[in-house]
Amino acid sequence: MKKYIWHVIILLVAAVFAVFASIDFLAMHHDEPIADNPNLTEIRWLSDYSEGLAGTDLDTPIYVFDSGVPGGTFLVLGGTHPNESAGPVAAIALIENIEVTEGRVMIIPWTNRSGFSHTSPLDGMQDFFSIELDDGSTRTFRVGNRLSNPVDQWPDRTYYEGSSGRKLVGTESAEIRNINRMYFGNEKGVLTERACYGIYNLIKTENVDITMDMHEGSPEFLYLDCTMVNKHSDNSLAMSIASYMCLSMEFDDLTMRAEYSGVNSYGLSHRSLGDNTESMMTLMETYNPSMGPLHGKMDDDLIINGNEPNYYQAHLDGYVYFDVPEDGYPLVNRVARHILTIAYLAEGFSEYVPERCISFDTNLGTYEDMVEMGLGGILKSIN
Amino acid sequence: MDLELICLLAMLGVFLVSNMVIKLPVSLSMMFGAIAGALVGGQGIPLRHLFEGTFTYVDTMLIISTAMLFMTVVQKSGALEALNAAIVTRFYKIPALMLVLLMFVIMFPGMITGSSTAAVLSAGALVAPVLLMIGIPREKAGAIIAIGAIMGMAAPPINIPAMLIGGGVDMPYIGFDGPLFLLTIPCAVFTVLFLGLKYCKNLDIEKLKSQLNTEIGKEYGFKLYLPIIVLIVLLVVSKALPSFPQLGTCLIFLISSFVGLFTGRKFNFLKESADAMETTIPVLAKLMGVGMFIQVLTLVGARGWIVVSCLGLGMVFVYIATFTIMPAFGAVSSYGAASVIGVPFLLVMIQNTSCNDIVVAAVLAFTCCLGDLMPPTALAGNYAAQIVELKYKPVLKNCIIPFLFCIAVAVVCILNTNALSFLTV
């Protein structure tokens, strides 16, 4: 009898801890509020383009800014990988500030919305980080995981061949929950694939001319400050537009290079959506020091200020190729870089394809302006 | 002193005191170590991280649990006894060949699942009674099973640490088969012959037959082996034929167990499976403790600190650390060793030497796998010890010479990567 009493007590204590932990986990299921922008035309849902997503955690809002003036369409994907914080924050900053004057801009801030509801085991990631705005209020953002939540899609199959022909096997089998491995999607496939199909169908249905998928990488990654461009049959045009963007960035003293999609990059947005739609597909990466396995203490300071002495030391010792800045690489700089890349791509596209002109004002000024304002100035207060 | 180092010392200190002084189980000691690290690192008691850490190995835990059910069925139905009898009576005349074949049987599940635990629990448990019966002492039989399972985990086609290391530097898992076979086969053959051959001379087959249950095989015939056949067929087919429905390792174990309920001796499945799970719970708890420990180690920055500190010591140290710290990290997690140490070490070697990167990655992965021998986690070792009904310590002692042989083979390979590059084609 005494043994059973102990069992019951232990179970009750475990249950109490579980309740408190579950409150933490469930908090990640709530989307960040986004401030109103009078220029917003409408909000659609990805399930409008992929029926199987309706009512699931992978259904996600699409913010549409239509100038009413004929032109092209630019699709911006933030939060394909929710732990790559600059992407979703840049997307939200654009939603809150953009004013489109020609053509349309469509922005998805949480492309893998399910991925925002959990973090990656063993990586010791924060679940939230907070930014103080200029008016003294606070905005809180989730960090999330690059994969869909197993609560939404599990177990991972031991072998899976996506629509692109990418074979997921061994440790890559978990990538079946990675939106950026499952393009161009499958309407009837696993949930993550249905989200990919939604993006694919959105691009086809809305005649999207150019797409930017915003990413970040750990310092070991070889394609940082780099934009990947799909090698279309008319590749000289795509690369010309990307080169226009790179040169414009260089004029702002910002290093940027453009490269064609890898021949084996099946399932990735820039490759598989580019191969299967008419949209000019681009994907950009910035350096995120909180993502690498060598990261130091995980806290708001690391995520927001990007100050990572471990990687700076590893760079000095010759083990990390990327030129890790000694003073860190703050989130605002990365967000500004993403926003500016999008702006220059739209400018370049309109220059080369004037009949499908896409023109907008981010209302955030230059790179220097954004860095000076800080995220506290870029983001709007939530009323 | 760096805060990360203080956190690390606090975690290790509390873990060791809890385990060795207060005599708490490894799992609870790791949990207390993790809590201590979080407190020192200014994270309070991070419930979310502790829970998240425990869920890291949930898939592995399910595989272990279902594999245990399968093993219970195979043992209680009589299939194991019948198989033992068949193997011994057919191969007793050529003991060296018999031992090498038995070693390959131990390795097989590890090769196709990438898990040493699966190898120990399935084939290891099947072969162990045979090894004991032919006269190999328990501690040596345990060592053969532990090393065999690890060689299976390291051998192609599935080597998870190699995939983890390759994934970290954008290197596809292609061209690894040759180097991994070169590393694992000689080590497996050496181990089984070194530990077992001297006990297999002059086998008295009549005496062995008297110890074996040859009747049960006659009573139930071929159908007795059906659960094992179903298991092997489903495991192989689901790997070899992508078009075959993907059942997953757990379901395959469950289907095979279900088949076994009707192919041999009748037994109380509920009671036996509950007993089996009771012996499994300490290992599952240990995995949960390891998950918490690594999670907090990463959260407070101690993981990054360890690697950067090692890297700062230069190439000679990197080579020494590859064959010391990397397998030792297996005490926490061999997969952790691959992702935390293997990736930066591969980058260091690629950048600083003109080596063949695939051979280097294969050697690093092989070395990580050896970490599954390291206590306190020692997944392969602990289960092998349980199977031969011993504590892990005597089994570990017998693993030392084969371990050093494996390290020697790995050192030879890493010093000759370019000469071995033909294996990567």
- Nearest in space to B412 (alpha carbons), one of B144, B179, B161, B154: B179
Chain B contact for A369 (CB, 8 A cutoff): no
Minimum CA–CA partner of B313 in chain A: A317
Is residue A105 situated within a structural domain? yes
pLDDT in tens, B197-232: 999 887 888 888 887 788 888 899 999 999 989 988
Chain B contact for A7 (CB, 8 A cutoff): no
CB within 8 Å of B262: residues ≥ 6 apart? none
Minimum CA–CA partner of B62 in chain A: A155
Q: What is the pLDDT of residue B168?
A: 67
Minimum CA–CA partner of A311 in chain B: B308
Q: Which member of A24, A119, A310 has the closest CB to residue B308? A: A310
Is residue A19 situated within a structural domain? no
Mutate to test the interface with A, among B8, B247, B311 (most CBs of A within 10 A): B311
Separation in Å, CA of B397 to nearest CA in chain A: 31
Residues in A closer than 8 angstroms to B56, CB to CB, are 121-122
Q: What is the pLDDT of residue A233?
A: 62
Chain B contact for A259 (CB, 8 A cutoff): no
Chain B contact for A99 (CB, 8 A cutoff): no
pLDDT digits (tens), chain B, 425 positions: 789 999 999 998 998 899 889 989 888 998 999 999 999 999 999 999 999 988 877 877 888 788 888 878 988 899 878 887 887 788 888 889 889 988 988 998 788 777 888 788 878 888 898 899 888 999 999 999 999 999 999 998 778 888 878 766 767 777 888 999 999 999 999 999 999 999 988 788 888 888 778 888 889 999 999 998 998 898 888 777 777 887 887 899 899 999 999 999 999 999 988 988 887 787 788 778 888 988 998 899 988 888 788 778 888 888 998 999 899 988 877 877 887 778 778 877 876 777 898 999 999 999 999 999 988 778 888 889 988 989 889 999 999 999 999 999 999 999 999 999 888 87
Is residue A20 situated within a structural domain? no
* Contact: A220, B295; criterion CB under 8 Å: no
Q: Which member of B56, B305, B344 has the closest CB to residue A296? A: B305
- Please state the ipTM of this predicted complex: 0.92
Q: Please, are residues A299 and B294 in contact by the beta-carbon 8 Å criterion?
A: no
Q: What is the pLDDT of residue B300?
A: 95
Range of A187's domain?
A: 31-378
Is residue A129 situated within a structural domain? yes
- The enclosing H or E element of A102 equals strand A99-102
Is residue A256 situated within a structural domain? yes
How many domains, in total, are found in chain A?
1
Place of tokens 């963007």: A245
* Contact: A170, B303; criterion CB under 8 Å: no
The torsion region of residue B393 among left (phi > 0), alpha (psi -120 to 50) and beta comes to: alpha
Q: What is the pLDDT of residue B144?
A: 96
CB atoms within 10 A of CB A1: 4
Is residue A18 situated within a structural domain? no
> Strand locations in B97-256, DSSP E?
none
User: Global pTM?
Assistant: 0.84
Q: What is the pLDDT of residue A170?
A: 63
Is residue A9 situated within a structural domain? no
What CATH number is associated with residue A141?
A: 3.40.630.10
Residues of chain A with pLDDT under 70: 170-171, 233-235
* Contact: B160, A21; criterion CB under 8 Å: no
Is residue A2 situated within a structural domain? no
